[in-house]
Structure 1
Amino acid sequence: MLRHERVSMVAAVQRGVDGDPYGVTLAGVIRQLFVALEQRPLVKAFMLRDREVIGKLLRQAGVSESKVLSRATLVTYLEVLHARGLVRTDLSVSAQVNLIMATITGFLLAEPVLLDDRQGMVEDPADVVADVIGRALDPGRRLTAAEQRVVEQATREYVEQVVALSDAKYQSSLAVCTPARRRR
């Protein structure tokens, strides 16, 4: 069930990136991811390791199952941007991944507190998360049109890899579950 939700989530991210106000960029992907997480309480709970919501499932799951996003895929994506100076180069790729994950997790964890004051909020939390990450990793200069195309291509490839990885894990889990169902 969780893998199905993740497949659905990454497909929503893929569909949403093209129309995102931040464009086909790192910030656009992060915004779409945040929106998708907000719409999928099970995946969100799993990402946050919320034992109240999914306690038994968490205890049974392996470490790799707790990753909503593939760290390796994100690292590869950021390495492409980093090597070309399309994100900050004074931070290591590892630090950038940690910054992204901490920002997303922090906003998701803070949400219950923020919801109490949501009437006064003008900004959409997904926009704020995208803006924070976009500004934090901004290379400090305006990108050329050619560089913007590189960012767009790298972003599309990243999203496609995440979709393919998520789908492969889901299909693999179906293959593992099918024989058990037949024995019943």
Structure 2
Amino acid sequence: MSMKVTETALPEVKIVESDLFCDELGSVFETFNADEFASGVAADVEFVQDDHLRSRRGVLRGLHYQIQHPQGKLVRVVVGEVFDVAVDIRLSSHNFGKWIGVHLSAVNRRQMWVPPGFAHGFVVMSDTAECLCKATDYWYPEHERSLLWSDPDIGVDWPIEFAPILAGKDQAGKRLYEAEYYA
């Protein structure tokens, strides 16, 4: 695998891109290689759960995190396009409350690594989108929390000109100053 890793404004959040190999039969690219991930993105990471999410245009999921059993997530899009966001919610971090957003699509084949200690969410930009997410811990609904997607204290600049479609838990998300966060 020839993996390119790009740091973002939040150094722990990384963009991962793989070379695409094409021939007369089609194309192939490697989406994950444990050795290269450990040496280029994050060491000592073990993925234990894969999720496949499908949503329609305008759906905004997040900003989610688990207060216990925090999850690191490697997110990629296999159909369509999303704007993917990570927010640092580690109180001890000098980046506490800061966010990074990246367009992920089936066309650009980018992946975003969102480490434990960050809230995560996305909005669907295309008619439909399908996302694959590798997680470092299992989903525990009783530990899941949501930050308010539109919290002005975080100030995510969602690239949308429409009212997003939200799940009840996302409509009830907490403002950063009210939320539980990591030490």
- More strand by proportion, 1 or 2? 2
TM bucket normalised to smaller: under 0.3
TM-score (norm 2): 0.23
* Structure with bigger RCO (C-alpha 8 Å, 6+ apart): 1
